[in-house]
Structure 1
């Protein structure tokens, strides 16, 4: 089915664009809706996991979960959930400006609430409705920190050539705590995963493909069509995919409790950051904002 035949879903969402295939086989969700227009209109939008975006994603996931739960047909096929972006990047990760403010104010509870919200969204990406859903991340721009973690939560990662993925958290003396270790070690060896989490490298997707971290690299501009082609192929083996989802969870289960335990460690580590680490974090925020603003202004003028 052509990706041009998808049907918009009416929603009050302002940061998430949600469309569905007419067949009901897939939901396509785009973060950072109208990012270029927001920047051009003076909103200074930053393509990261803001609390607003996370709440919208959780609401949308729960809506899909309820719809699938209501479909009790025993021979119902596999459903696909595709995560992509309307920005020129996939996602730059956690809301560092929020982190800095909460840490400086000593507001551990707010930071913990944010971290738990991230984990709920991440867990849903991995297991939205038990064995019924196959999640696909389409990387059409850099995926850093929490953006990389969100992609790793998905069953399949499709990336366009020339993009990069990595964890910058160690630059400000922190570690990626929203699922990186759990999901990365299901793709590569734990020692290799730890090196990736602590070396601050932005890996080209071509290298990540060779490592087995991602599943497919396609030419720039072909990511969404590659996902549509994947969905079409999967419909011919829906029963096998559902069985593999069940087998994967039986042999290497991902628990919400494990993810929450790790992210609590992340919150404790974040609250211990000193002024040097916080200043580095704040410099990174400013650099990302300058980059986002420059790219989005260029898109708006194009």
Structure 2
């Protein structure tokens, strides 16, 4: 992620600052852009935990009318960029370990719920 914004410190971290989280966000006030960084733990995939964190962030952004608060100050969001902190991987795939587990258990309902969570994360954008 070495670019001019990072070098000049123009982006501000906000939201989930939990270092154990799998999704973190930064805001660039010069372009009113939110950067959402996927930082998957273990295999780089859309795990249930990562999907949950992304959805929670995006739901809060929707509830606030596209405005975020950083250190007590409100900022409008015009753009949202999806990015990855996983070295060598941007486009994460499905959770194959979970697929195998649910297929072996013949748990079609849980597979459907996983698919819905994936769709919910994309549709909201």
Query: Take 1:9 and 1:24, find their aligned partners in 2: how far apart are those partners?
Result: 16
Q: TM (normalized to structure 1)?
A: 0.33
Q: CA deviation at 1:124?
A: 1.6
1:63 aligns with 2:65: no
Q: Aligned residue for 1:298?
A: none
Query: Take 1:22 and 1:109, find their aligned partners in 2: how far apart are those partners?
Result: 42
Query: Take 1:69 and 1:53, find their aligned partners in 2: how far apart are those partners?
Result: 21
Query: Take 1:68 and 1:23, find their aligned partners in 2: how far apart are those partners?
Result: 19
Matches within 5 A, 1:11-22: 11=16, 12=18, 14-22=21-29
Q: Secondary structure at the match of 2:99?
A: helix
Q: Aligned residue for 1:6?
A: 11
Q: Aligned residue for 1:51?
A: 48
Structure whose CA Rg is larger: 1
Residues 47 and 87, structure 1, Cα contact 8 Å, conserved in 2: yes
Q: Structure 1: which 4+ aligned runs deviate by more than 6 Å? A: none
Q: Aligned residue for 1:87?
A: 86
Structure 1: 5+ residue stretches without partners: 36-44, 72-76, 126-302
Matches within 5 A, 1:10-159: 10-11=15-16, 12=18, 14-23=21-30, 25-32=32-39, 45-68=42-65, 79-88=78-87, 89-125=89-125
Q: Secondary structure at the match of 2:45?
A: coil
Residues 25 and 34, structure 2, Cα contact 8 Å, conserved in 1: yes
**Per-residue CA distance 1:206-261 (angstroms, 9 max, x = gap):** xxxxxxxxxxxxxxxxxxxxxxxxxxxxxxxxxxxxxxxxxxxxxxxxxxxxxxxx
Count residues with an aligned counterpart.
109
Structure with a larger share of its residues in helix? 1
Q: Secondary structure at the match of 2:64?
A: helix
Distance 1:78-1:52 versus aligned 2 partners, 3 A rule = closer
Q: CA deviation at 1:69?
A: 5.4
**Per-residue CA distance 1:43-93 (angstroms, 9 max, x = gap):** xx111000000011101111111222579xxxxx87100001001201330
Structure with a larger share of its residues in strand? 2
Distance 1:14-1:69 versus aligned 2 partners, 3 A rule = closer
Q: TM (normalized to structure 2)?
A: 0.76
